[in-house]
Amino acid sequence: MKNYYIIDFDSTFTQVEALDELAKISLEHHPDREQIYLEIERYTNLAMEGKLSFREALSGRVQLLQANRSHLDKLIIHLKKKVSTSFSRNREFFKKNADTAWIVSGGFKEFITPVVVPYNIKIENIYANTFRFDEHDNIIGFDETNPLSDEGGKVKLLQELKIDGTIYGIGDGYSDFQLKESGLIQKFFAFTENISRKTVTEKADFITPSFDEFLYVNDLPRAISYPKNRILCLIVGDVPEIAAHILKRDGFSIRTKDTFEEKYTKDVGMLLLGKDVTVSEEQLSRADKLKTIGVLGDAKNHLNKEVCNAKGIVVFDDKKDKKRNAEYIPRRMADFINNGDTYMSRNFPNLLLPKVKDVTRLLHIHKNVPGIMAQINQVYAQNDINIISQFLMTKADIGYAVTDIRGEYDRDLIKQLKKVQNTIKFRILY
């Protein structure tokens, strides 16, 4: 049986509620616009939380809009810039699942279709409401015969479609949960990248902070190998709020603490330290998931570089310009996690890597000993791997090899690369 993916639009495929954004456009010069914005937002939240029937909320919002076709044109331009980050980077998923990845929304086709079609979503797989216009192209209502305009509309639609397959639902609102409640879908994933509604998350089969997480849990093709929301970033000590904001916006799971508590040692993936924080050699030696450490200041007196090298932990610091530390260091850490960049690292070779599409990027950290690259490339050759590009730099006792490959590969390749003698750490980046 085929797998079908029923995906919501507002606050899921896009970061925003489209009707709320349309109101900001259509009411830009209205003297009471702020009060109307709040009323439209109130209708939206009541419907999403299941506290008001969908049709009542939809009718109330449309009546308040005072919008026309010219406003829709501006809205579409805006929405194309507001596609959720994790959906935007996973275009390949939609290309490979063009027949079974559907948009089902209580929003409107007039603005949904132009936004999602560039992602290889077929027009016939977009189910949404449609506006009614008067002779002057003003929006005066919507097609009330469309099941999606009514309470439980998504349930009614799927009942009519009678899809023969396993259906997964992804969304942020109560109408998405209703599909699970009706028994029409196999699993419901509450999407929380943009907004988290307790009335929805507490009833979901899974809470998915990103589309990457959904793809990872279901072992589906994805742009990055490991969801960033699963990487714990621990911020310790006196660190300005901008640092946490930068890393959280990038999708990492953030914890802010006064000290490096023992309970985080085995799970921490990124560690950002304030100027008066030190990390013991013992704690470093047991932090097996730790990939990078940032220090606001000079790392020399904060941690043992030899232990970091032995664990394959990339260290970033900036002792010369303390004013920019709170923004500069988190961005360097994120660039390493996202692209493999070690530029301006304290202990690793400095690599600033190109971003290459449609490849798998493999990071191999090893001891800088003769012959190791020959062993690595022998593994690739034995597995008939198509290498697109390869980068190698060394610094003291550390070697850092980045290999971009294209095409399918057996998972045994990864096991073989990890077993290469003198390997310190290996990671599939994306």
One digit per residue, the tens of pLDDT, for the chain of length 430 reads 899 999 999 999 999 999 999 999 999 999 999 999 999 999 988 988 888 888 999 999 999 999 999 999 999 999 999 999 999 999 999 999 999 999 999 999 999 999 999 999 999 999 999 999 999 999 999 999 999 999 899 999 999 999 999 999 999 998 999 999 999 999 999 999 999 999 999 999 999 999 999 999 999 989 999 999 999 999 999 999 999 999 999 999 999 999 999 999 999 999 999 988 999 999 999 999 999 999 999 999 889 999 999 999 999 998 776 667 899 999 999 999 999 999 999 999 999 999 998 899 999 999 999 999 999 999 999 999 999 999 999 999 999 999 999 988 998 999 999 999 999 999 999 9
Burial of 320 (0-12, 13-18, 19+ CB in 10 A): exposed
pLDDT at 126: 98
Report CA torsion sign: 70, 143, 186, 163: negative
pLDDT at 319: 77
pLDDT at 91: 94
Picking from 376, 297, 312, 389, the residue whose alpha carbon sits closest to that of residue 348 is: 312
Picking from 73, 85, 105, 90, the residue whose alpha carbon sits closest to that of residue 9 is: 105
CA-based Rg of the chain, rounded to a whole angstrom?
25
pLDDT at 180: 92
What are the φ/ψ torsions at residue 267 (nearest 5 degrees)? -110, -15
Contact indicator for 149, 142 with CB cutoff of 8 Å? yes
CB hemisphere CA count around 380 (13 angstroms): 20
Picking from 172, 142, 174, 146, the residue whose alpha carbon sits closest to that of residue 160 is: 146
Contact indicator for 362, 383 with CB cutoff of 8 Å? no
Say which residue the tokens 């890393």 belong to.
247
pLDDT at 381: 97
pLDDT at 323: 65
Say which residue the tokens 């070779």 belong to.
349
Q: What gap in Å lies between CA 233 and CA 271, rounded to an integer? A: 6
pLDDT at 322: 63
Say which residue the tokens 């596609």 belong to.
83
Contact indicator for 178, 148 with CB cutoff of 8 Å? no
pTM: 0.85
pLDDT at 358: 86
Calculated CA dihedral for residues 196, 151, 117, 62, nearest 10 degrees? -90
